[in-house]
Amino acid sequence: TGAIDLSKLGDKSKYTIDYLGDKNANILTGTTKDEIFVAGAGNDILTGNGGMDVFNAGLGNDNIIINASNITALEKTGTGNRTRVDGGGGIDTLKLEGAGLTLDLTKISDRRIQDIEVIDITGSGNNTLQLNLDDLLHASTSTNILKVLGNSGDEVIVTGFNGLVTKKTVNGVTYDVYTHSDANAGANAELWVQKGVTLMGAQRGFVIKGESARDHSGYSVSNAGDVNGDGLDDLIIGAYGADPSGKSSAGKSYIVFGKQDTDAINLSDIVAGKGGFVINGKSVRNYSGRSVSSAGDVNGDGLDDLIIGAYSTNPNDKSNAGESYVVFGKQDTDAINLSSIIGAGGFVIKGEPGSFWSSHLVSSAGDVNGDGLDDLIISARDIGKSYVLFGKQDTNAINLPAIAAGTSTDGFVIKGEPWNDYRGHLISSAGDINGDGLDDLIIGVYEANPNDKSKAGKSYVVFGKKDNTDAIELSDIVAGKGGFVINGESVRDYSGYSVSSAGDVNGDGLDDLIIGARQADPSGQSHAGKSYVVFGKKDNTDAIELSAIAAGAGGFVINGESARDYSGCSVSNAGDVNGDGLDDLIVGAYGSDDSSGKSHQGKSYVVFGKKDNTNAIELSDIAAGIGGFVIIGESAGDYSGHSVSSAGDVNGDGLDDLIVGAWNADPSGRTSAGKSYVIFGKTDTNAIDLSKLGDKSKYTIDYLGDKNDNILTGTTKDEIFVAGAGNDILTGNGGMDVFNYHQRQQHRRTRKNRRRQPCPC
């Protein structure tokens, strides 16, 4: 607001225009210095040759040529950098000069490149252009169309666009034309890529590599909630074959902290306390980590906790009775030994005598009794029981015999139907199915025989209750007392082989369910598998027939793609991956082969939520980018998709992420050490190739808090805020901002978004 004195106007205030054009076609060629180019009305050629150059091309169809030095200047942040490219009127082309160059528009301020209609990345060798929808809208403001020229060695990496729409030929050049995929963006944008140039969606995510041969890391994977209170969701990965301190198959579990970059993680670094911590099994052949899950916030300290199953332990000399371990959240990266967990950051849950393989499967149960603490559910496979354990703040051991006898106030037992149905008891939180404010449970029994259909399978929904610890009989659930039963469709479908909350898929305010039937035969394709989405209901406890769901009554079916894919072996809520406000789903198909002959590489399918219809979904359509996207396994025999889960929001960009386990993968030649893959949320439906995961894909977190009370204040730019566990103040000040904060309600939502257990195969 300083006054202007006209008598002094112009004193010591002048920029030098180094190259000035006129109304004719000019060729303006710069040096390596920082220079200013101003062209006129002709069709001009402006060549920077390096430096922090300013290009004002004016009217006409102009060519602006930049090299590696100019690109570096465009990407540079901070004051004093005046670099800019303005095409002005006409059809203007930005050309790359050189080879091995990457022009990454996602790293360049929106105001630095404007009014460019064509980007030519041909150069003298293989070059790369990276951009997203916003970059196109800002660079080509007059038309919202950007053409990219190049040759077969060049590559365009892009997010926010659909699959191929059409081909167009202009001035003898044929283009593949793509459109943006965000129906809410309010603008029609097109990306034209010259035929022959490789177009790929940025493979946003990272790989987690197993530590040692035959560890089988990734056999069980799960979102861990926010264990360390930094505001980013963390992960837990089980490796039941690992040998901590030489204890053969004692097992390990690894906590991997959330992060924004896409660098690969080696679990050996986690053991060393870099980016997480390890939890070491207790004794030889305990197989700890065969089942892992977030436990929610069991002790109410504001940090999310963990639960780990070790089904082959011998508590109190009870052979193979099994133990489970609750590990409280913490902010350091010191290793935890399950042999010393009692009274030191957690507690142990001891199995029943004769309950071979209690702790075979473990899961958070949500808040079943409404006391504000998260609860747990544990399956004892071989005696057909499940145990619900209430959250608590002490570290005293819990004995399942007391739970089963009804003499403990720590929880209650759920007893199965006939003995021959025992092989199942897949367990998960179901979210709040009936809208009463209490979290419910789902139990899958895949060898059950509903309506005399041998091994068609059953799933039981058990409503939350807060008034007692009385045992629940699944026969009562079948009768509509305290829940309802879901009966399988056909003989030997094995429905209930995998079960999970689905979140709110159809947007009606009630949580829904997803049930896998890995041996179902859709359209006669043997063992292609089916998954069933069952909508929440609060008006009755009538039994549900999956045949009705397949017909579109009360939900919808998801049909497997090919014979012996075993889709539905692992199913999970995926959170809101594409940011449309509806919960999405992930379905694993570990038996899937690809067209190049990679046998059992596996696939996982992300199915977007929908509220307008109950039409059946074909996974072949998902693979084609219709209604979701496919995640293609890396190598033959990896069995990717054996375990799938929501990962929560690992990178803090506001979209929920995914984790896929491939327990038989061989990282760096380590046989069956296993891999896990984190895939960041995205709005497009381009396929994800796990062999390329991590390439050139990173979000910048502009303001990162910690465990203390933080004041994070933004600018008018588009920014990402991630606060920690303190009482924080986040101020946007404008722009398309993303706010991620650590609070109790957020954890309740995340809890319903995670897979609880792997398939029992």
pLDDT for the residue 682:
86
Highest-scoring range by mean pLDDT, 3-7, 11-15, 356-360? 356-360
pLDDT bucket at 743, cuts 50 / 70 / 90:
very low
Give Cα separations from 516 to 557, 589, 614 (angstroms).
Answer: 10, 10, 17
Give 143's contacts (C-beta < 8 A, 6+ positions apart): 117
pLDDT at 438 over 90: yes
Burial class (CB in 10 A: 0-12, 13-18, 19+), 312: buried
Kindly tell me if the per-residue pLDDT of 270 is higher than 70. Answer: yes
* pLDDT computed for residue 184 by the predictor: 44
Other beta carbons within 10 angstroms of residue 229's beta carbon come to: 21
Query: Rounded to a whole number, what is the largest CA-CA distance in the chain?
Result: 100
pLDDT, tens digit, 9 for 90 and up, residues 161-210? 654 457 899 999 999 888 764 444 455 788 999 998 988 766 679 999 99
Share of the chain above pLDDT 90, in %: 71
Q: Residue 497 pLDDT more than 50?
A: yes
Kindly provide the b/e burial profile for residues 635-647, where b requires at least 16 CB atoms within 10 angstroms of the residue's own CB: bbebbbbbbbbbb
pLDDT range class, residue 15, cuts 50, 70, 90:
low
pLDDT, residue 334, reads 97
Over 60: is that where the pLDDT of 154 sits?
Answer: yes
Which tokens belong to 243? 């040998």
- As a whole number of Å, the end-to-end CA separation of the chain is 73
Supply the pLDDT for residue 140.
Answer: 73
% residues pLDDT > 70 (the chain): 89
DSSP, collapsed to helix, strand or coil, labels residue 542 as coil
Is residue 758 assigned to a domain? no
DSSP 641-692: TSEEEEEE-SSSSSS-EEEEEETT--GGG-TT--EEEEE---SS---EEGGG
**Residue ending a domain, choose from 201, 217, 243:** 201
Write the single-letter amino acid at 387. Y
Per-residue confidence (pLDDT) for residue 228, from 0 to 100: 96
- Stretch among 76-85, 195-204, 736-745 having the lowest mean pLDDT: 736-745
pLDDT at 749 over 80: no
**Using CA atoms, how far apart are residues 412 and 717, in angstroms rounded to an integer?**
53
Contact between 526 and 559 under an 8 Å Cβ cutoff? The reply is: no
In the listed set 172, 201, 230, which residue is the last one of a domain according to the structure? 201
136 φ/ψ sector (left φ>0, alpha ψ -120 to 50, else beta): alpha
Q: Which residues pair with 537 in a beta bridge?
A: none
Tokens of 630: 């496919």
Q: Is 637 left (phi over 0), alpha (psi -120 to 50) or beta?
A: left
Is residue 6 situated within a structural domain? no
Q: What are phi and psi of 587, to 5 degrees?
A: -125, 125
The answer on pLDDT for 541 being more than 70 is yes
Q: Which of 63-67, 351-355, 480-484, 619-623 has the lowest mean pLDDT?
A: 351-355
In angstroms, the Cα distances linking 595 to 136, 270, 562, 634 are 34, 36, 12, 13
**262 and 114: one domain?**
no
Q: What is the per-residue pLDDT for 480? A: 98
Which of the four pLDDT bands, split at 50, 70 and 90, describes residue 260? confident
* 676-721 pLDDT, tens digit each: 999 999 877 878 888 877 644 445 577 877 777 889 998 887 778 8
Strands of the sheet containing 155-159, edge to edge, are 102-104, 128-132, 155-159, 198-201
- Per-residue pLDDT for 2 more than 70? no
- 691 or 649, higher pLDDT: 649
Q: Does residue 16 fall inside a structural domain?
A: no
Residue 222 has pLDDT above 60, yes or no: yes
CATH of the domain at 220: 2.130.10.130
**14 pLDDT higher than 70:** no
d(CA 132, CA 108): 12
Residues forming a β-bridge with 431 = 440
5 in a structural domain = no
For residue 340, what are its two tokens? 């010393």
> Pick the residue with more confidence: 223 or 8?
223
Query: Domain check: are 70 and 144 in the same one?
Result: yes
Structure tokens at 449: 């025989």
Which residue reads 């729409």 in tokens?
A: 165
Please give the structure tokens belonging to residue 50: 């390096």
569 and 517 share one domain: yes
Please indicate, yes or no, whether residues 152 and 256 belong to a single structural domain of this protein: no
More confident residue, 132 or 614: 614
Q: Residue 619 and residue 625: Cα distance in Å, rounded?
A: 10
- pLDDT, position 422: 56
**Cα–Cα distance for residue pair 403/382, rounded to 1 Å:** 17
Which range among 34-43, 77-86, 145-154, 416-425 shows the weakest confidence by mean pLDDT?
416-425
Domain that holds residue 527: 205-696
pLDDT attached to residue 753? 35
- Tell me: do 479 and 531 sit in the same domain: yes
Confidence of residue 370 (pLDDT cuts 50, 70, 90): very high
For every residue of 326-347, which 3-state class applies, written as one string?
EECCCCCCCCEEHHHCCCCCEE
Residues 170, 237 share a domain: no
- Asked if residue 381 and residue 467 are part of one domain, the reply reads yes
* Burial zone of 595 (CB within 10 Å; 0-12 exposed, 13-18 middle, 19+ buried): exposed
Q: Are residues 423 and 486 in the same domain?
A: yes
* Residues 323, 195 share a domain: no
Cα-based angle 288, 293, 298 (whole degrees, multiple of 5): 110
Q: Are 161 and 178 in contact, with CB atoms under 8 Å apart?
A: yes
Give the residue carrying structure tokens 């399950």.
Answer: 338
Distances (CA, A) of 716 to 719, 733, 734: 8, 5, 4
Both 191 and 97 in one domain: the answer is yes
Contact of 567 with 532, CB cutoff 8 Å: no
Average pLDDT value for residue range 594-613? 89
Task: State residue 164's pLDDT score.
Answer: 47
Say what the pLDDT of residue 118 is: 97
**pLDDT reported for residue 132:** 83
Measured in residues, the chain has a length of 761
CB contact at 8 A, 264 and 690: no
Contact, 129 vs 139, CB < 8 A? no
> 168 with 216, same domain?
no
Per residue in 390-432, pLDDT (tens digit) is: 999 999 999 999 999 999 999 999 999 876 665 557 899 999 9
Q: Residue 572: which H helix or E strand, with range?
A: strand 570-575
Question: In the chain, what are the helix, strand and coil shares in percent, each to the nearest 5?
Answer: 10, 35, 55
Among 672, 696, 720, identify where a domain stops.
Answer: 696
- Least reliable range by pLDDT among 224-233, 480-489, 649-658, 711-720: 711-720
Using DSSP's 3-state secondary structure scheme, residue 429 falls into: strand
Statement: residue 742 has pLDDT above 60: no
Q: Which residue has the higher pLDDT, 647 or 684?
A: 647
Q: Tokens in use for 257?
A: 């902290």
For residue 544, how many C-alpha atoms fall within 13 Å in the half-sphere facing its CB? 28
Specify if 330 maps to a domain. Answer: yes
Q: Residue 490 carries which side chain, given as an amino acid letter? A: S
CA distance 117 to 94: 8
Which residues face 612 on adjacent strands?
Answer: none
Who has greater pLDDT, 199 or 577?
577
Q: Assess whether 677 and 728 both reside in one domain.
A: no
Tell me the pairing of strands 220-225 and 190-194.
unpaired
Residue 596 CB-density burial (10 A; 0-12 exposed, 13-18 middle, 19+ buried): exposed
Beta-carbon contacts of residue 702 (< 8 Å; ≥ 6 apart): 714, 717, 719, 720, 721
pLDDT of res. 532: 99
Average pLDDT of the segment spanning 104-114: 87
State yes or no: pLDDT of 761 exceeds 50.
no
Residue 78 has pLDDT above 70, yes or no: yes
pTM of the model: 0.78
pLDDT, averaged across the chain: 89
The amino acid that residue 87 corresponds to is: G
Amino acid 428: pLDDT: 97
Does any domain span residue 727? yes
User: What's the total number of domains in the chain?
Assistant: 3
Q: Residue 144: what pLDDT?
A: 85
| Separation CA 341–CA 18 (nearest Å) | 71
DSSP strands (E only) in 32-185: 36-38, 45-47, 54-56, 63-66, 84-86, 93-96, 102-104, 113-114, 118-120, 128-132, 145-149, 155-159, 166-170, 173-179
